[in-house]
Amino acid sequence: DAGVTQSPTHLIKTRGQQVTLRCSPISGHKSVSWYQQVLGQGPQFIFQYYEKEERGRGNFPDRFSARQFPNYSSELNVNALLLGDSALYLCASSLYRNYNSPLHFGNGTRLTVT
Amino acid sequence: ILNVEQSPQSLHVQEGDSTNFTCSFPSSNFYALHWYRWETAKSPEALFVMTLNGDEKKKGRISATLNTKEGYSYLYIKGSQPEDSATYLCAFNFGNEKLTFGTGTRLTIIP
């Protein structure tokens, strides 16, 4: 079975640009979460989507948005990129919405903003 | 602000030795505690999800304990092997939609 897949693996953008990151969950998983990981810190929660609806949002500005499609894949969009948005963006899927279920992570998208 | 603290930040262990490290979290509103192993160039892999005070979980040479009353969890690795080299992350959930991660313990096994 395929795991969580994310694309692209690496991305270089300049300040002010917009970026879209994509994630395909494990087949049968309806919950998708996005996390941002900056070097030296643990992953920080950005969004959770379940059954195509936003179920939670972390402490990130409105420049960050996401959506989940009928096939449960998800996109994370970041507008007006800042240098501080440079990070590894991790997508994770889980079978259930609650956190008794372990998260299954993708390999991440490394975003560099110059 | 609810923080998760992990110690030590990094650790070098001789192959064959056993080791352990700590995750501290707020003891109020506890819901679940997760452990993940994150090897270089790979994705984080779930080791354990623990929900009950006194829980003990084991997976091969790796085990974990949970004390929700005092707010800590220990991860133990018995007879360390080179493939155990990774960053070990714990993450805390207090009943909402997110996990709050610690900064991890970076474990290096010396052959």
Instruction: Give the residue-averaged pLDDT of A4-27.
Output: 97
Grade residue A1 by pLDDT with cuts at 50, 70 and 90. low
The dihedrals phi and psi of B42, each to the nearest 5 degrees, come to: -125, 180
Instruction: Give the residue-averaged pLDDT of A98-114.
Output: 93
Provide Rg for chain B, Cα atoms.
13
Q: How many residues make up chain A in this entry? A: 114
How does DSSP assign chain A, residue by residue?
----EEE-SEEEE-TT--EEEEEEPPTT--EEEEEEE-TTS--EEEEEEETTEEEEE-S--TTEEEEE-TTS-EEEEE-S--GGG-EEEEEEEESSSSTTSPPEE---EEEEE-
Query: How far away is chain B from the Cα of A94, in angstroms, using its nearest Cα?
Result: 11
Q: Which residue of A has its CA nearest to B35?
A: A102
Residue-wise pLDDT tens digits, B27-80: 888 899 999 999 999 999 999 999 999 999 999 999 999 999 999 999 999 999
Interchain proximity A45–B104, CB inside 8 Å: no
Are B107 and B37 contacting, i.e. CB atoms less than 8 angstroms apart? Answer: no
Q: What percent of chain B has pLDDT over 70?
A: 98
Higher per-residue confidence, B1 vs A107: A107
Of the candidates B89, B100, B103, the beta carbon closest to that of A40 is on B103
